[in-house]
């Protein structure tokens, strides 16, 4: 195992979670080293199991020229010391300095874009990459240079315990999964407890600013059994027992939903960059046909309740639609695509 791969990923779980899933896939074939800003304090990063180095992160503002210069010099020092076989970028401004340093040092760069509409870092650097991996074929038209359609890296974890026992829920009841992604969503925290029928039980991943106890109390008053947390480390168990889901529409959530074959109601984050969450949601609704999209603006508890009732009656047909799409769309894994190039 003489290959070393630098993984440039930081920021939200939307970038770090697929990067870590990829790292686990490839760890039997190569060593990995994460480089980005903010890894030491990022709650979605597994510091105990992955080697990493910090660099300053340079968000676009008045001090950008000074910060990016410092971050670039630090990145070049790390490349010189680690001598990587390649650098793989998963987007966000946290990854920009190390990717730029790799390009300057003529280290092969591979990029990964999981949203339909690519982020600014991936889009701007795609012309310099050996190729850019995309999870949606539609993404190819936004990028310059070569692209490869790959399967989204997802955390693979065995169901080593009884999920219902873990969450304290009843196997006979309809289970609703509510998640706003790695950071949660206050809007979902407010509206879902008002909309959920008493016949449901819920696994709810809340925003850090929402009181877990208050949410639990709201569900208790409606006689709804619940498991409420700020960040669920065993999401594979939640997806395993979810009958339907109410979520944001980050790409990671979309592909987890497809992998688990769970129909859902998607409420895109209305302030996402380039409105990419709405584009992701439209793909899941129109192409996969496994979800219903509800814009956040003007959404009421009554509308959401009606959508839940409707989705429940259509659940089986949407599960079949997701299965059908999966059978017809089986691209190569990202780790296999990278290793083919490094062989």
pTM of the shown model: 0.85
pLDDT over 60 at 112, yes or no: yes
Cβ-Cβ contacts under 8 Å for 200 (sequence gap 6 or more): 173, 174, 175, 176, 224
Return the half-sphere exposure (C-beta side, CA atoms, 13 A cut-off) of residue 132: 31
Helix residue ranges, H only, 296-333:
301-328
Q: Are residues 128 and 183 in the same domain?
A: no
Q: Within this chain, do residues 193 and 279 fall inside the same structural domain, yes or no? A: yes
| Secondary element (H or E) of residue 64 | helix 64-82
What is the per-residue pLDDT for 58?
59
Residues 174 and 193 in one domain: yes
Within its chain, how far is the Cα of 237 from the centroid? 16
**Can you list the pairs that 125-133 forms with residues at least 24 positions away whose Cβ atoms lie under 8 Å?**
125/89, 125/96, 125/99, 125/100, 128/103, 129/89, 130/86, 130/341, 133/334, 133/337
Q: Are residues 320 and 337 in the same domain?
A: no
pLDDT (mean) for 93-120: 93
Same domain, 45 and 130: yes
Instruction: Write down the pLDDT at residue 38.
Output: 85
Which pLDDT tens digit goes with each residue over 149-161? 999 888 766 667 8
Q: How far apart are CA 236 and CA 246, in angstroms?
A: 16
Q: How many domains does the chain have?
A: 2
Residue 229 sits in a domain whose CATH number is 3.40.50.2000
**Do 221 and 97 share a structural domain?**
no
Residues 320 and 335 in one domain: no
69 and 55, same structural domain?
A: yes
Whether the pLDDT of residue 195 is over 70: the answer is: yes
Are 169 and 135 in a shared domain? no
Tokens of 242: 């979810």
Half-sphere exposure of 82 (CA within 13 A, CB side): 28
Residue 181: predicted pLDDT: 75
Q: What is the pLDDT of residue 61?
A: 53
- Count CB neighbours of 48 within 10 A: 5
What is the residue range of 336's domain?
4-156+331-342
Q: Based on the domain organization, do 67 and 186 belong to the same domain?
A: no
**pLDDT score of 264 more than 90:** yes
CA–CA gap between residue 145 and residue 129 (Å, rounded): 7
What residues pair up with 54 in beta bridges, in sequence order?
36
Q: What is the pLDDT of residues 275-309, one digit of tens each?
A: 889 999 999 999 999 999 999 999 999 999 999 99
Percentage of the chain beyond pLDDT 70 is 95
Average pLDDT, rounded, for the chain: 91
* 189 and 42 part of one domain: no
DSSP state string for 114-144: -SSS--HHHHHHGGGSSEEEESSGGGGGG--
Residues 129 and 109 in one domain: yes
Work out the average pLDDT over 161-186. 90
The residue with greater pLDDT, 94 or 249, is: 249
């Amino acid at each position: 195992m003489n290959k070393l791969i630098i993984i440039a990923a930081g920021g939200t779980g939307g970038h770090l979670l697929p990067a870590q899933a990829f790292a686990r896939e490839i760890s039997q074939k190569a060593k990995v080293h994460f480089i980005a800003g903010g890894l030491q304090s990022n709650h979605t990063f597994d510091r105990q199991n992955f080697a990493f180095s910090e660099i300053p992160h340079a968000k676009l503002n008045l001090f950008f020229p000074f910060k990016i210069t410092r971050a670039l010099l630090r990145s070049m020092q790390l490349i010189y010391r680690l001598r990587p076989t390649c650098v793989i970028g998963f987007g966000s401004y946290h990854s920009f300095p190390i990717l730029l340093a790799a390009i300057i040092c003529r280290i092969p760069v591979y990029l990964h874009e999981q949203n339909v509409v690519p982020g600014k870092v991936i889009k701007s650097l795609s012309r310099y990459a050996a190729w850019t991996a995309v999870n949606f074929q539609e993404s190819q038209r936004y990028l310059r240079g070569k692209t490869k359609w790959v399967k989204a890296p997802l955390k693979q974890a065995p169901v080593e315990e009884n999920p219902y026992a873990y969450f304290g829920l009843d196997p006979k009841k309809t289970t609703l999964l509510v998640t706003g992604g790695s950071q949660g969503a206050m809007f979902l925290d407010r509206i879902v407890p008002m909309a959920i029928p008493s016949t449901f039980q819920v696994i709810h991943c809340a925003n850090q600013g929402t009181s877990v106890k208050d949410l639990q109390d709201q569900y208790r008053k409606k006689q709804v059994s619940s498991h409420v947390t700020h960040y669920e480390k065993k999401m594979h168990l939640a997806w395993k027992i979810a009958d339907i889901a109410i979520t944001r529409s980050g790409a990671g959530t979309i592909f987890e939903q497809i992998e688990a074959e769970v129909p859902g109601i998607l409420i895109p984050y209305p302030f996402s960059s380039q409105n990419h969450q709405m584009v992701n949601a439209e793909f899941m609704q129109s192409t996969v046909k496994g979800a219903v999209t509800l814009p956040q603006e003007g959404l009421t508890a009554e509308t959401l309740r009606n959508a839940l009732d409707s989705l429940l009656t259509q659940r089986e047909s949407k599960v079949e639609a997701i299965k059908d799409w999966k059978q017809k769309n089986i691209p190569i894994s990202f780790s296999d695509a990278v290793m083919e190039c490094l062989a």
